[in-house]
Amino acid sequence: MVTAEVETEQIQLIKGDITLLEVDALVFYAEPNLELGSGFGTAISIRGGPTVKKELERLGPVGTGEAVVSGAGNLKASYIIHAVGPRFQEENTEEKLKTTILNSLRCAEEAGAKTIAFPPMGTGFYGIPLDLCSRLLVELVSDHLKTSASLKEVIICVQDAREFEPFRKELSKVTG
Amino acid sequence: MKKSTAEESRSHKAQVVVDRLGKKLNRQIVGSMVACVHCGLCTDSCHYVLSNPGDPTYAPAYKADRIRKIFKRHYDWTGRVFPWLVGAKTVMTDEELEELKDISFGKCTNCRRCSLNCPMGVDFATMNRMTRGLLVSVGIMPEGVATVSKDQWELGNQMGVLKEDYLETLEWMEEELQDELDDPSAKIPVDKEDCAVVYSINPREAKYDPRTIGDAAKIFHAAGEDWTMPSDGWDMTNFGLFSGDDELGGAVARHLFDRVQELGGKKLVISECGHGYRSTRCEAPNWAKYDVPFEMESSVETMLRYVKEGRIKLDKTRNSKPVTFHDSCNLARSCGITEEPRELLNLVCTDFREMYPNREENYCCTGGGGAMSMSEYTPRRLKSGKVKAEQLKATGAKVVVTSCHNCVDGLTDVIRHYELDMEVTQLVNLVAEALVIEKPARVPTVVEDLPLAGRRIVVADDEPDQLLYLATVMEDYGATVYQAASGDEALTLVRKEKPDLVTLDLAMPGRPVTEIYEVLRSDSELEGLKICIITGRPEMRELIYQRMETPPDGYLDKPLSEDDLLRGVRKVLELSHQEV
């Protein structure tokens, strides 16, 4: 685990399964139709139970860059922020990803969340480069925490050493 | 640079594909792009063509030309100068990319039979895999491919098996095994460190066919193997092989390899899976740019090795139905594992008969290392299985064995569709069935498993019974023991044998043990020697501890139980407390 302090708030980088975290809100990188699908969606469906999917039926569809909040069913988290980010090398990926992250943070604040967990946004299946994601996420989260209303702790939850390293590098810039 | 009119009207995705194609070119791909002379020999190699003789769009050369024309238009001078002459043509729209998807995913299983039979060395399967990768990178792929890819990216296995379900399955299989063998020592160890074997599986086993895990565990147990299964990074399949996504290929491989290293495993054994073996053993080190420091082998090789080393005994009469063998494309054609399964089959069943053609010339099961995930192509896939069905039927066998999980499902579909009277199984099932296990089940006796294995110890005591007791216990736990009845004898043996440890009784005839101790401590050639005092006279302890020399490394009071002796000796030998 790596921790960075921003003012009095914290950014933590951990390895683990984001759907098992006990946080106020966790971010799910969603499809525009808000179908949970496979991957983390499988974990949310199975561990969270059917209520999440049911709630999502009235929330979608959602445009790229936007985010919406649902309950988290039986998960340890209280809310899920469904963030629809850019996918598969689409145009203006960086700008869209930035908007997606900012909207996720906005949703967390509106829900009064004190803790939020982010996955590596859009990396892996959706093809966002890890370097781009780690730079944007750490930058935007650090900036946000300087003036945050309710958020006290942001967790970046990665799966393995391959994902951990780029985020660690970016966090080291925050801690100086 | 100003964009041309064509570039301006090309869709974003098509432009990305064109650009990315240039980055994927290497000698092998370019050779395959330019070498085809359209001789047609590949046509007779393809099971799609053989099962659809009236449809030329299945011909490998035709399919290859769909991507070749883009290469020629953008990356070959002939196509740039004389596009009309060499059939060069760019791609402009998302609809054209969809057509490419239909060919690349829906009309080829990448079985490589045409690649093997091309006199010009055109490797269409590699070209096709690259094409799939280009399409996946812009999000154009069959829904099933997307589902499986996302599962493997985010959950670490391609069937979305959650960790708790996987671990529960292992516990269940362990209980079944213990019940079957009536032996509580039969285990499926999870995350055990420093094992000889780390066993990785296809998630299909955890999800649909756990008996293969139970059977493998039975074989490892019978062989006395020091083995484990990881709780994470346990999936040895790699959907990047099928989807053409090299990034996924590298990420999955790195996760698995890192896990084996964290566990300190000496060898990674890959369960019976062609896709898994090829991707992990042959392709993944390149995708992940990983210098793999441990050995890897297919469980087929492992099982055969156990038989040859006499670690397991088989009774082949237990598998008496007529059996044939289906060579997996990935295992046989791409990795050359053709003889090991046959050698094992002849040891494990009474009536093995070949299928023709076989080995690297065998026809695809239609599963294609992942094709089962694309339900929209199932009717085509089953139709292409006609040639496979004819092959199977001609053997007259009642059982078809294959060392590949995709093939198990592909063959099962073909058998059902063509109404053949056959069942599909794997070598692990046959070997487990034929295992001869004498009760009580063989406990691990491999020397490396014993707690004092490899340790050399001189034991000195003037009481013959005590000496025999101490020596016997240590030998039983794997140590090589030298016995001495006096201090001088001990000194002679230590200088001769250079052991790891000498144990000294304090009251022995001859020279005082304190003097012997001083000599041992002052001898520069015995610097690493550990000394442990074992005495029934604790009042004499100060004779040693008040001396100038370094105190003993350990001290044990007699009488000593077997456990106390072992624990004390291991501690002195500086094994970790956890191990003790």
CA distance B51 to B118: 20
Picking from A141, A124, A133, the residue whose alpha carbon sits closest to that of residue A167 is: A133
Higher pLDDT, B372 or B445: B372
Task: Give chain A's contact residues with B (Cβ, < 8 Å).
Answer: 17, 37-43, 46-47, 87-91, 119, 124-125, 127, 159-162
Higher pLDDT, B407 or B454: B407
If you average pLDDT over every residue of chain B, what do you get?
92
Return the SS3 of A166. helix
Tell if the CB–CB gap between A160 and B148 is shorter than 8 Å: no
CA distance B365 to A64: 41
Q: How many CB atoms lie within 10 A of CB B473?
A: 20
Tokens of B398: 């009642």
Quickly name the fold that domain A2-175 has. Leucine Aminopeptidase, subunit E; domain 1 (3.40.220)
How confident is the model at residue B387, as a pLDDT?
96
Query: Does an H or E element contain B117, and which?
Result: helix B113-117
DSSP state of B196: S
Quickly state the pLDDT bin for B577 (edges 50, 70, 90). Answer: very low
In this predicted complex, what is the ipTM? 0.97
Answer yes or no: is pLDDT of B408 > 90. yes
How confident is the model at residue B225, as a pLDDT?
97
Answer yes or no: is pLDDT of B335 > 70. yes
CA distance B417 to B386: 9
**Which chain B residues contact residue A161 at CB under 8 A?**
254, 258
First to last CA, chain A: 17
What tens digit of pLDDT does each residue of B123-137 get? 999 999 999 999 999
CA distance B222 to B416: 35
Domain limits, chain A? 2-175
The DSSP code sequence of A63-98 is -TT-EEEEE-TTSSSSEEEEE----TT-TTHHHHHH
Check: CB of residue B508 under 8 Å from CB of residue B485: yes
R_g (Cα) of chain A, nearest Å: 15
Tell if the CB–CB gap between B162 and A38 is shorter than 8 Å: no
Quickly state the pLDDT bin for B440 (edges 50, 70, 90). Answer: low
Pairing mode of beta strands B530-535, B501-504: parallel
The DSSP code sequence of B310-336 is TSS-B-GGG--S-EEEE--IIIIITT-
Quickly state the pLDDT bin for B448 (edges 50, 70, 90). Answer: low
**Which chain A residues contact residue B149 at CB under 8 A?**
125
Tokens of A126: 């959706």
Check: CB of residue A37 under 8 Å from CB of residue A52: no
**Which chain B residues contact residue A91 at CB under 8 A?**
12
What tens digit of pLDDT does each residue of B539-563 get? 777 777 666 667 888 888 888 888 8
CA distance B364 to B108: 10
Tell if the CB–CB gap between B139 and A42 is shorter than 8 Å: no
Tell if the CB–CB gap between B154 and A47 is shorter than 8 Å: no
What tens digit of pLDDT does each residue of B449-475 get? 688 888 999 999 988 888 888 998 998
Residues of chain B above pLDDT 70, percent: 94
Q: Give me the residue from B150, B156, B258 closest to A38, CB to CB.
A: B150
Check: CB of residue B325 under 8 Å from CB of residue B408: no
CA distance B203 to B159: 6
Answer yes or no: is pLDDT of B446 > 70. no
Tokens of B208: 């649909």
How confident is the model at residue B439, as a pLDDT?
67
Q: Give me the residue from A43, A46, A91 closest to B12, CB to CB.
A: A91
Answer yes or no: is pLDDT of B143 > 60. yes
Q: How many CB atoms lie within 10 A of CB B177?
A: 21
Residues of chain B above pLDDT 90, percent: 78
Weakly modelled stretches of chain A, pLDDT under 70: 176
Please state the φ and ψ torsions of residue B312, each to the nearest 5 degrees.
-135, 150
Tokens of B310: 């006499």
**Which chain A residues contact residue B138 at CB under 8 A?**
88-89
At B34, which amino acid appears? V
Tokens of B214: 């139970």
**Which chain A residues contact residue B137 at CB under 8 A?**
88-89, 127
Domains in chain B, CATH or no CATH each: 5-141 (1.10.1060), 147-308 (3.40.50), 316-434 (3.40.50), 450-572 (3.40.50.2300)
Sequence-distant (6+) residues with CB within 8 A of A52 are A36, A44, A45, A70, A71, A72, A73, A80
Pairing mode of beta strands B501-504, B554-557: unpaired
B427 CB burial (10 A radius; 0-12, 13-18, 19+):
buried
What tens digit of pLDDT does each residue of A20-67 get? 999 999 999 999 999 999 999 999 999 999 999 999 999 989 999 999
Check: CB of residue A166 under 8 Å from CB of residue A131: yes
Picking from A77, A163, A12, the residue whose alpha carbon sits closest to that of residue B153 is: A163
What tens digit of pLDDT does each residue of B157-211 get? 999 999 999 999 999 999 999 999 999 999 999 999 999 999 999 999 999 999 9
CA distance B541 to B555: 9
Please state the φ and ψ torsions of residue A163, each to the nearest 5 degrees.
-80, -30
Return the SS3 of B304. helix
What tens digit of pLDDT does each residue of B44-94 get? 999 999 999 989 999 999 999 999 999 999 999 999 999 999 999 999 999
Check: CB of residue B260 under 8 Å from CB of residue B292: no
Return the SS3 of A151. coil
Quickly state the pLDDT bin for B575 (edges 50, 70, 90). Answer: low
Q: How far is A163 from chain B (nearest CA, A)?
A: 9
Tokens of B117: 């039979």
Check: CB of residue B231 under 8 Å from CB of residue B260: no
Question: Within 13 Å of residue B338, how many CA atoms lie on the same side as its CB?
Answer: 14
Beta bridge partners of B456: B480
**Which chain A residues contact residue B148 at CB under 8 A?**
38
How confident is the model at residue A30, as a pLDDT?
98
Tokens of A112: 């009064």
First to last CA, chain B: 70
Sequence-distant (6+) residues with CB within 8 A of A28 are A36, A40, A41, A44, A80, A81, A82, A83, A119
Answer yes or no: is pLDDT of B580 > 50. no
